[in-house]
Amino acid sequence: MPLINMPDFADTILEEFSARSTVRVDTPVIQPAEPFLDMAGEDLRRRIFMTENERGESLCLRPEFTIPVCLRHIETATGTPKRYAYLGEVFRQRRDGANEFYQAGIEDLGNTGIAAADARAIGDAYAILARLLPGRELTVMLGDQAVFEAVVKALGLPAGWQKRLIQAFGNADQIEQLLKRLGSPNPVEGLNPMVSDLLASGDDAALVAHIDETMQATGYSTNASRSPVEIARRLKEKQELAETRLDGAALILLREFLSLELPLPEATSALAGFADAAGLKLGAAISRFDERVAALANAGLDLASITYRAAFGRPLDYYTGLVFEVAAKDHPAVLAGGGRFDHLLTLLGAESRIPAVGFSLWLDRIEAEGKRS
């Protein structure tokens, strides 16, 4: 039995889902914790309610639906394309609401028309909210992690730094800390002087031999999860990251990109202008972005109601491209949010890459918004 009441408009949502050719699915409330801990991101990890079974395996109360729906799709070996819909309870520790609440949403798996699928996800979320909240003016905030990745790559940063920045996308505080470190590099702290000297010398064989000798002498080698070669490689990576410095002009460019915020109809030309002025090759990423803008226009959405913000992301690590949120104008509560997660199904065990995009509706916030005068 649910601990909270289903919102009165739940039947309306199910009608909307049915009209959009979706298959409704449910997933168990108790889920294996590992996929969420590995792939959902730090923000959600801190909010999960954990437990374990009699074998000591980590379990959790379902904190969201995307990962369970994807796991179910893989387990049932259902072909694609497939559109799944869900409506049920999720459980998260929250500061601004009940820890148990209802979410509903659609996951669109296997649609290879990327721009059209992105536009459909935004359009469906917007249209359902417009029906549930008649008379409310809705706004959409849109970001694109793929464009940010293209900018970071074009700046020529080492792969490790690219990974750190991409993982921090959408978290303004983390991005700022990383940019400060890129502006003022520092050596790796806490290293043995001998290790520091060997790293500086570039003598990889001597570094590996020293690590192996130390592990043998301390008895650590019998329980080590990494070999001396792997440890040496990790130390070199950390040293490279610590010593990398992004010159002042490049830092200014990255900050300039992250400051972009403008109506979606103006975004493509602004991105192209930025790339030209900065001398960065972003053609492929900008073309995909423009294809989505065109698809949104073809779907009949009011592009003037959509804002593009270059730094905008959502606090889930599995997003790969589009991210978006829908809210009532002049009210901060996110009513719907979603994005593209093209790598998630492969990470969860799918045999081949399955493009995917989806969104969720926050039913408690929608209900509260409907009661606002």
107 labelled as ligand-binding? yes
Task: Tell me the CA distances in angstroms from 78 to 2, 18, 267, one per residue in order.
Answer: 29, 19, 38
Are 354 and 346 contacting, i.e. CB atoms less than 8 angstroms apart?
Answer: yes
36 labelled as ligand-binding? no
Place of tokens 């996110």: 334
Compute the half-sphere exposure of residue 288: CA atoms within 13 Å on the CB side of its CA: 15
Q: Is 227 exposed, middle or buried (0-12, 13-18, 19+ CB in 10 A)?
A: middle
Rounded to the nearest 10°, the torsion over CA 114, 116, 117, 118 is: 80
In the DSSP assignment, the letter for residue 77 is T
64 labelled as ligand-binding? yes
307 labelled as ligand-binding? no
66 labelled as ligand-binding? yes
255 labelled as ligand-binding? no
* Terminal-to-terminal C-alpha distance of the chain: 32
Q: Is 211 exposed, middle or buried (0-12, 13-18, 19+ CB in 10 A)?
A: buried
92 labelled as ligand-binding? yes
Residue 229 to residue 176: CA distance in whole angstroms: 33
318 labelled as ligand-binding? yes
Residues 6 or more apart whose CB falls under 8 angstroms from that of 128 comprise 13, 16, 336, 361
Residue 122 to residue 113: CA distance in whole angstroms: 14
Strands 82-91, 23-24: pairing kind: parallel
Among residues 32, 22, 81, the alpha carbon closest in space to that of 53 is found at: 32
Measured from the Cβ of residue 56, the count of other Cβ atoms closer than 10 Å reads 6
Tokens of 40: 């959902």
Among residues 58, 63, 81, the alpha carbon closest in space to that of 27 is found at: 63
Tokens of 296: 């949104």
Residue 291 identity (one-letter amino acid): E
Question: Which positions make up the binding site?
Answer: 64-66, 92, 103, 107, 314, 318-319
Question: Which positions make up the binding site for L-histidine?
Answer: 64-66, 92, 103, 107, 314, 318-319
